[in-house]
C-alpha cells in the first residue's frame, strides 16, 4: 500500500512538472495573432543556433506605399541622385506649354498642396512621348480640374503656378518641404531608378506590388483565364465577386507558414455595401480582398486596421511581411490634402517600428504607387507590354542599410517581391512553371534581367544602428 501511495505521488509530481513546461495558449489573442507571434519567434536565432547572416538577419520586411509622386518631384535636386538636369544651377529641360506657346522649365514649388495631372496609361504614353519626356503639360490640359494649366493667368491661379506660369506638374520639392524624407535618404538608402511596375495608375500598381501582375479574369476561379489589364476597366469588377484569380505572393507565404498582414485605415470597407464611402483606405490601394487565394487560404483576417499595426510594433509581434497603406486625406494624392499629413503618417509608422523590439531585425521600404502626372526626366525601360512606368521615389530604412547611399540600380516593385522570396521562400518565384498554381502571366517579373537586387543596399557586417526618431511635424527636436 505504501509503495502504491509513493507511486501515485510521483505521478502527480511528474504531471505538474509537465504542465508547467507546456506553453500556455493566450486565449485573448486571435488565431492569426498567435500565428504571427509564433512565426516571429521561429524566425529569430536561438542561443544554440548559428547566428543569422545576410538577409536572414531580417525577420521583418515592411512596405509603406504612398500615392502619386514622381522621383523628380520629391528628389529631383537631392545631391548625388539622377535628378533634374541642371545648367548653372537652373533646370535645363524645357517642356512645351501649348497655351503659352513656348516651353517652360521645372520650378521649385513650395506649396504643400499640389495639383498633379491625369495618370492612366494614355497619359503616361503622352508624358513619355517616345522617350522625350516632354508631354506633361499637354496631358495636364486634358484634366478639366487642372484649371491653372489651361488658364494660367486667372486670378485664382496666383500662387499656384510657377514663375513662368507653369502648372504644378512641373513643380518640384526640396528638403525644405519634404524634410523627413530627405533625412531618411541622408541616413539610409535612396533609390533613384525605382520605376513604377506598370505603365498606368494606382490599382494596377498595387496589384503588381503583391502579385507581380495586373489582369482581368474571364473566370474568377480560373487563373489561366486571366489576361493582362492595366486600364481603368479593372475597377469596374465588383469586389464581392473576388475578381483576381491569378496567384499573389500571399499564396506562397501561406504555403510556407510565413506570417503577413496588410494594414489599412480605420473604417476601411471593401464590399459593395459601402460603395462610395469617403473614409478608410480606397479599394484601389487595398486589392487583397479581391484575390481568390486570400479567401481560399482563410486569411482575409490578415487585412487589419492601424491600431493592430501599432500594437504589434509595440509588442514585438509584427508579422514577417507587412504592407501599410494610407487613408484618404493623408495619402499624398495630389489635390487631396497637404503632403505634410502624409509625411506625418509615414513618420509615425516608421517611429513605431523603430521604437519596438523588432527594429534590429527589420527593413522598411517607403515608396509611391505612381508618378501622379508630375514631371520626371528619365525614360522608363520596357520589360513587357505592362511597363515599367515612370519613376517614383523609394527609400530603404533599416539598421543594416548603408548610410546615405544612393542606389542607381534599375528597380521596380518586382524587386520587393524578389527580396521577400529570397528571404522567406528560398528563392521561389511567382513563376507559373514552379509555384504550384499556374496562371497566364506574360513575364516572371522577379527574373527580368535588368532588375537590380535590393540586397546590395545593406551592410550586414556592421552592428545594427540605433533608431532615428523624427518629429512627424518635421520640426527640429528640442536641443
Phi, psi dihedral angles at 310 (to 5 degrees): -65, -35
* Distance in angstroms (rounded) separating the CA atoms of residues 27 and 265: 26
Nearest to 137 by CA among 91, 171, 173, 170: 170
Q: What is the pLDDT along the chain (479 residues), one digit of tens a residue?
A: 444 444 444 343 434 443 333 333 333 344 344 444 444 444 444 444 688 999 999 999 999 999 999 999 999 999 999 999 999 999 999 999 999 999 999 999 999 999 999 988 999 999 999 999 999 999 999 998 899 999 999 999 999 999 999 999 999 999 999 999 999 999 999 999 999 999 999 999 999 999 999 999 999 999 999 999 998 666 655 666 799 999 999 999 999 999 999 999 999 988 877 777 778 999 899 999 999 999 999 999 999 999 999 999 999 999 999 999 999 999 999 988 899 999 999 999 999 999 999 999 999 999 999 999 999 999 999 999 999 999 999 999 999 999 999 999 999 999 999 999 999 999 999 999 999 999 999 999 999 999 999 999 999 999 999 999 999 999 876 54
pTM: 0.89
* Distance in angstroms (rounded) separating the CA atoms of residues 301 and 324: 15
* Distance in angstroms (rounded) separating the CA atoms of residues 333 and 336: 6
Separation of first and last alpha carbons in the chain: 78
Provide the 3-class DSSP secondary structure of residue 321.
Answer: strand
What is the Cβ-side half-sphere exposure of residue 148, based on CA atoms within 13 angstroms? Answer: 22
Rg (C-alpha) for the chain, rounded Å, is 24
* Distance in angstroms (rounded) separating the CA atoms of residues 75 and 20: 57
Contacting residues for 73 by C-beta, under 8 A, at least 6 apart: 171, 172, 173, 371, 372, 374, 375, 376
| Ranges of each domain in the chain | 54-71+175-457, 94-172
| Helix H or strand E segment including 168 | none
- Give the CATH class of 54-71+175-457: alpha beta
DSSP assignments along 106-164, one per residue: -EE---SS------SHHHHHHHHGGGT---HHHHHTT-TT-HHHH-TTSGGGTTSS-TT
Amino acid at each position: 500500500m505504501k509503495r502504491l501511495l509513493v507511486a501515485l505521488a510521483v505521478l502527480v509530481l511528474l504531471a505538474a512538472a509537465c504542465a508547467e513546461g507546456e506553453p500556455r495558449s493566450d486565449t485573448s489573442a486571435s488565431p492569426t495573432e498567435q500565428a504571427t507571434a509564433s512565426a516571429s519567434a521561429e524566425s529569430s536565432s536561438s542561443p544554440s543556433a548559428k547566428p543569422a547572416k545576410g538577409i536572414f538577419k531580417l525577420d521583418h520586411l515592411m512596405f509603406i506605399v504612398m500615392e502619386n509622386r514622381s522621383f523628380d518631384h520629391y528628389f529631383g535636386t537631392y545631391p548625388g541622385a539622377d535628378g533634374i538636369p541642371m545648367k548653372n544651377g537652373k533646370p535645363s529641360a524645357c517642356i512645351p506649354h501649348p497655351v503659352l506657346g513656348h516651353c517652360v522649365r521645372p520650378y521649385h514649388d513650395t506649396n504643400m498642396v499640389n495639383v498633379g495631372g491625369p495618370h492612366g496609361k494614355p497619359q503616361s504614353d503622352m508624358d513619355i512621348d517616345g522617350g522625350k519626356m516632354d508631354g506633361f503639360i499637354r496631358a495636364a490640359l486634358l484634366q478639366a480640374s487642372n484649371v491653372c494649366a489651361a488658364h494660367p493667368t486667372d486670378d485664382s491661379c496666383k500662387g499656384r503656378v510657377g514663375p513662368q506660369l507653369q502648372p504644378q506638374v512641373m513643380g518640384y520639392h526640396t528638403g525644405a518641404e519634404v524634410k523627413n524624407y530627405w533625412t531618411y535618404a541622408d541616413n539610409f538608402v535612396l533609390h533613384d531608378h525605382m520605376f513604377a511596375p506598370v505603365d498606368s495608375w494606382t490599382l494596377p500598381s498595387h496589384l503588381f506590388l503583391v502579385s507581380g501582375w495586373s489582369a482581368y479574369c474571364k473566370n474568377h476561379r480560373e487563373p489561366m483565364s486571366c489576361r493582362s489589364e492595366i486600364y481603368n476597366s479593372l475597377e469596374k469588377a465588383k469586389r464581392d465577386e473576388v475578381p483576381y484569380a491569378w496567384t499573389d505572393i500571399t499564396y506562397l507565404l501561406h504555403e510556407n507558414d510565413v506570417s503577413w498582414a496588410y494594414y489599412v485605415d480605420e473604417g476601411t470597407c471593401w464590399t459593395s455595401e459601402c460603395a462610395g464611402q469617403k473614409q478608410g483606405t480606397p479599394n484601389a490601394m487595398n486589392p487583397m480582398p479581391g484575390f481568390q487565394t486570400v479567401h481560399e487560404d482563410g486569411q482575409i483576417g490578415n487585412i487589419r486596421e492601424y491600431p493592430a499595426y501599432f500594437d504589434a510594433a509595440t509588442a514585438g509581434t509584427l508579422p514577417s511581411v507587412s504592407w501599410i497603406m494610407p487613408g484618404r486625406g493623408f495619402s499624398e494624392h495630389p489635390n487631396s490634402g497637404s503632403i505634410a499629413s502624409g509625411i506625418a503618417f509615414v513618420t509615425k509608422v516608421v517611429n513605431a517600428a523603430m521604437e519596438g523590439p523588432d527594429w534590429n531585425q527589420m527593413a522598411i521600404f517607403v515608396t509611391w504607387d505612381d508618378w501622379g502626372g508630375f514631371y520626371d526626366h528619365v525614360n522608363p525601360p520596357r520589360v513587357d507590354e505592362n511597363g515599367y512606368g515612370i519613376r517614383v521615389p523609394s527609400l530603404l530604412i533599416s539598421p543594416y542599410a548603408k548610410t546615405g547611399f544612393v542606389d542607381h540600380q534599375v528597380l521596380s516593385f518586382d524587386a520587393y517581391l524578389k527580396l521577400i522570396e529570397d528571404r522567406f521562400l528560398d528563392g521561389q518565384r511567382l513563376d507559373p512553371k514552379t509555384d504550384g498554381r499556374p496562371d497566364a502571366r506574360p513575364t516572371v517579373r522577379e527574373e527580368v534581367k535588368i532588375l537590380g537586387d535590393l540586397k546590395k543596399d545593406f551592410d550586414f557586417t556592421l552592428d545594427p544602428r540605433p533608431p532615428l526618431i523624427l518629429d512627424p511635424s518635421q520640426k527640429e527636436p528640442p536641443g
